[in-house]
Amino acid sequence: MSDSVSDRPDFRIEIHQNKYLPAGATQVHAIVMVETEGGPGVMTAPATGAAEVIIVDTSASMAGERLVAAKRAAKAAVDALRDGVDFAIVSGSERGTMIYPRDLLMAPATDRNRAQAKSAIARLTASGGTRMGRWVDLASALFADRSRGIRHAILLTDGKNEHESAEQLDAALVACAARFVCDCRGVGTDWDVSTLRRVADALLGGVGLVADPRDLAADFTAMIEAAMGKAIADVALRIWTPHDAVPWFVKQVLPTVHDLTDRRTEVASPGAGDAPVPAGPAMGDYPTGIWGKERRDYHVCVAVPAGRPYEEILAARVSLVLPAPGDEPDVVLAEGNVLAEWTDDEQPSTGLHPWVEHYSGQERLADSIRAGLGARNQGDLDTASRELGRAVDLAKETGNTETAVRLESIVDVDRATGVTYVKKDVDKATEMALDVKSTNAVPPPESATGPLSEDED
């Protein structure tokens, strides 16, 4: 958790692409694989600079078994904190309320403070409505004076965000963006997946379903342990593009599918003064959140002017960057080049790189699942069967066996005709689990090989 150079993980980038384009083509696709390796102090470093906020829904719908389980889970999370990590407990209803400490501040994780926090958690009661925007606003205020270090939150709810508009929630999320990472959990089956996913996506976290409240404590402990294993925050995926080249989209595609295209922040190019020159080279940063020892893949598409046969250009330079405070130079952790070369030879330019095809299929898989479940909930079983049938095929094609198994709980496939039918009696938890996990991706199989671009670090 230390922010010293020796405790940073080592970043490595590989660019997987087919750089060859047919005459007239203007889109360059690449998969940017990012892997980290633990440095001397990573995973064992003291927790200097780390902070955790645990947000527990205490609206009226939590009364009874769910609140009992939520208290148990919050206490388990407090116990899982590393010594020295600053933390706070927030109660969420129609407003966000400090539970521990009582004032708008955090306390270091010590034996004494853990005991006081668990005593405060034990006194939680359920009443009122649900306004998640107020909850994240309070968490953001707690993180406000922390511009560096690991900043992580857990948000637990059991219901729908019925006491504020979607616009109010979105405004709160925009204000909180890049302040902290938030993992969200829904307990039971009365909450709305799309709303909680919107919170998690905006705050670069994950969303999960805990259908049985008895499983909450183990889930909270696992989330805290994962957060305690992070070593570096605020890493940006920086994309530099030359004259007349434009990033078309940037998406995280592993371990989950998440579109980052609209999260771009412009960075002044060298010699451009306070802002990049639109017609010249441009740089933009895309947030990636907090990192430990892990792998993430990104799908980058860049639009370029069509070139002449056998002309090779640098379409983009992709870097992992740690922005530096003040006037200090940013730290480049790793970088690689996305190339383009036009050819009139049909053989090398006949298709996309296998990794690009693989992840494109998984993006379509996620889209088909959401469309199918949405149609099913609207009573349009024909569309639901068609979309979920397409999802079954895509899950098999991409080797996403976990999603394939979940789909089997929702649909039947006639082996003779190949026609997919939506099952009539599917419990709510099974349907929600498929929705929640729809964006989970798997890496390409080892057989899906192809050329690497040049100059990877």
Sequence-distant (6+) residues with CB within 8 A of 327 are none
pLDDT at residue number 399? 96
Rounded-to-integer distance, Cα 73 and Cα 38, Å: 29
Domains belonging to the chain, first-starting first, are 5-38+235-343 (2.60.40.3670), 51-228 (3.40.50.410), 354-437 (1.20.120.1690)
For the four alpha carbons of 299, 374, 442 and 322, in that order, the dihedral sign comes to positive
Cα Dmax for the chain: 73
* Length of the chain counted residue by residue: 457
Q: What is the pLDDT averaged over residues 262-290?
A: 74
Confidence of residue 454 (pLDDT cuts 50, 70, 90): low
pLDDT at residue number 350? 64
Tell me: pLDDT of 110 over 70: yes
Confidence of residue 349 (pLDDT cuts 50, 70, 90): low
Q: What is the pLDDT averaged over residues 388-394?
A: 97
pLDDT higher at 276 or 308: 308
Rounded-to-integer distance, Cα 348 and Cα 327, Å: 45
Tell me: pLDDT of 47 over 70: no
Short-list 46, 126, 122, 127, CA closest to 89: 122
Per-residue model confidence as pLDDT tens digits over 201-229: 999 999 999 999 999 999 999 999 999 99
Average confidence score pLDDT of the chain: 91
Tell me: pLDDT of 358 over 50: yes
Alpha helices in 63-110 (DSSP H): 65-80
Tell me: pLDDT of 280 over 70: no
pTM (global) more than 0.75: yes
Per-residue model confidence as pLDDT tens digits over 410-434: 999 988 888 899 998 899 999 999 9
